[in-house]
Structure 1
Amino acid sequence: MRRQPIRTQRMLCLERVDVHPVWTWLALIGVVIAVALALFGLPPVDLHGPLHRLGIMDPLCGATRSWYLTTQGQLREAIRYNPAAPIILGATVVACARAAVGWATGRWVTVRVSRRISLPHMVVLVIAVAALEINQQLHAELLMAPWRR
C-alpha cells in the first residue's frame, strides 16, 4: 500500500492582492503614530483608564512611553515601561515594509496561519499575556509616576 503524502500549505506565499488590508492599514497608522511620537513627544492628554488610577495596570500600560523611547533609540528604557511595545513597533515597521514592496511590485508577501489556534499555541499566548500583566503590575510605581522628560 502506497502512502499518500501529507499535504501542507506553505506558510509564506506571494499574492497579487493584499489579503490582509486591515493589518496593512493598522500598521500604517501605527507608523504615523510612531513618527508623531518621535517628532512631537508624548501627547499632552492623559490616556489612562480608571483602573490605572487605582493602581491596576493592564498589559498595554506604558506602551506609549515605550514607543516614544524606542523611537529615540532608548531600547533598554523602553523595555522597562513595556517589554511588548518595541516588539509590536518592530512588527508594525515590517508590515509597512511589506506594504511598500506590495504596492511597488504588485506582489504581496502573505503569511498564512491556521484560523484555528492549537491548544499549545493558546497556552503559550495565555502565559505570555499573563507574564506581561504580572510584569506591568510589578512596575506599577514606574508606570503611575508622572512623565519627566
Structure 2
Amino acid sequence: MADSRSGVPLAAAAMMVALGLPPVDLHGPLHLVGIMDPFCGGTRTARYAAQGNLAEAWRYNPLSIVIVYGALVVVARAGVGLVTQRWLTMKIGSTPARRRRVITVALVLLVLLEVRQQLRADLLMEGTHTWL
C-alpha cells in the first residue's frame, strides 16, 4: 500500500498554486544573513512547477522540480495501484560498490547545487527579510 505522506508535497504545491505563497517566513537564520542552502527557493519553485512554469522553477531551484513531479508520479502510481490492485514495482540490484558510487554522485550534485544556490543569493533573498 502507498505511504500516505507521498502526496504531501504535491498537495502543498497545489495549495500554493491556488492560494499563493505562505504568509510566514520559512527561512532559517543562515538564509537571513545571506548564506543559502541547497533547498533555498524550494517553496517558490514548487509553486512554479505546479503551475507548469518550469523555466521560472528552474531559476529558483531545480531540485524542487524533481520533488514535485516525483510526488506526482508516486500519487499516480498509488492511484493506479488502488484502482487495478496491481502495483508497479521497480527493483534495482545493489552492491556495496554501486551504493558508494550513488552516494558519491549524490554528494557531488548536492555540493554543486549548494554552489549554484549561493551564486543566486540575490535572487533567492528577494522579498525576504534580512537582519543586515
TM-score, length of structure 1 as denominator length: 0.78
Q: Sequence identity of aligned pairs in percent? A: 42
Corresponding residue for 1:60?
39
Equivalent of 1:102 in 81, 99, 124: 81
| Letter of the 1:93 counterpart | L
| Letter of the 2:28 counterpart | G
Corresponding residue for 1:85?
64
Corresponding residue for 2:115?
134
Q: CA deviation at 1:73?
A: 2.4
Rg larger for: 1
- Superposed CA RMSD in Å reads 1.7
After superposition, where does 1:1-149 map in structure 2 within 5 Å?
A: 18=1, 21=2, 24-113=3-92, 114=94, 118-146=99-127
TM-score, length of structure 2 as denominator length: 0.87
Q: CA deviation at 1:85?
A: 0.8
Q: CA deviation at 1:72?
A: 2.2
Query: What do the CA deviations read for 1:64-87 (whole angstroms, capped 9, x no partner)?
Result: 000111222221111010011111
| Letter of the 1:74 counterpart | N
| Letter of the 2:12 counterpart | I
3-state SS of 1:111 partner = coil
**Cα distance in 1, alignment partners of residues 49 and 34 from structure 2:** 25
Query: What do the CA deviations read for 1:86-115 (whole angstroms, capped 9, x no partner)?
Result: 111111100000000111111211233449
Query: What do the CA deviations read for 1:35-72 (whole angstroms, capped 9, x no partner)?
Result: 10110010100000111111111111101000111222
Which protein has the bigger helix share?
Answer: 2
3-state SS of 2:62 partner = coil
Structure 1: runs of 5+ lacking an equivalent? 1-17
**Cα distance in 1, alignment partners of residues 95 and 88 from structure 2:** 18
Q: Check the 8 A contact 2:41/2:61 in 1, yes or no.
A: yes
Structure 2: runs of 5+ lacking an equivalent? none
**Cα distance in 2, alignment partners of residues 110 and 73 from structure 1:** 27
